[in-house]
């Protein structure tokens, strides 16, 4: 993944303190679209950096983090309903 890749990060963190720390990390790499969901458009090295930071913080028995990699074609098919995040407005993405 030399070029940038679109990654959806979804997480379920059992402890509130860990949850805040994970969210803080994620804010450095992407945009929050839901409470525990971020969209990131990053290259492989930044992804690995983010993933390493997250893995150091989570409790592997209590917490869950899922990374979804979407191609550009799949990204174009994303539909959004409701309040539009500010970055979608800037990109002028069509909102349903």
Q: Are 43 and 1 in contact (CB under 8 A)?
A: yes
Strands 5-12 and 31-34, bridge-based pairing: unpaired
pLDDT for 80 equals 75
Number of domains in the chain: 1
Q: Is residue 20 part of a domain?
A: yes
Q: Is residue 53 part of a domain?
A: yes
Q: What is the domain-level CATH number for residue 46? A: 3.30.70.240
pLDDT for 76 equals 80
pLDDT per residue, tens digit, the chain (96 aa), is 468 999 999 999 999 999 999 999 999 999 999 999 999 999 999 999 999 999 999 999 999 999 999 988 888 888 777 776 655 555 544 444
pLDDT for 91 equals 55
Cα 44 from Cα 66, distance rounded (Å): 16
Cα 41 from Cα 6, distance rounded (Å): 4
Q: Is residue 57 part of a domain?
A: yes
Q: Are 14 and 71 in contact (CB under 8 A)?
A: no
Q: Is residue 19 part of a domain?
A: yes
Q: Are 58 and 65 in contact (CB under 8 A)?
A: yes
Domain that holds residue 28: 5-91
63 marked ligand binding residue: no
Q: Is residue 96 part of a domain?
A: no
């Amino acid at each position: 993944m030399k070029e940038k890749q679109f990654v959806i990060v979804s997480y379920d963190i059992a402890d509130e303190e860990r949850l805040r720390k994970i969210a803080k990390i994620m804010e450095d790499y992407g945009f929050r679209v839901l409470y525990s969901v971020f969209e990131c458009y990053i290259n492989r090295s930044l992804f690995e950096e983010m993933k390493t930071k997250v893995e150091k913080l989570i409790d592997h028995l209590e917490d869950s983090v899922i990374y979804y990699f979407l191609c550009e074609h799949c990204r174009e098919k994303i539909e959004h309903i409701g309040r539009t995040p500010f970055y979608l407005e800037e990109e002028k993405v069509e909102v349903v």
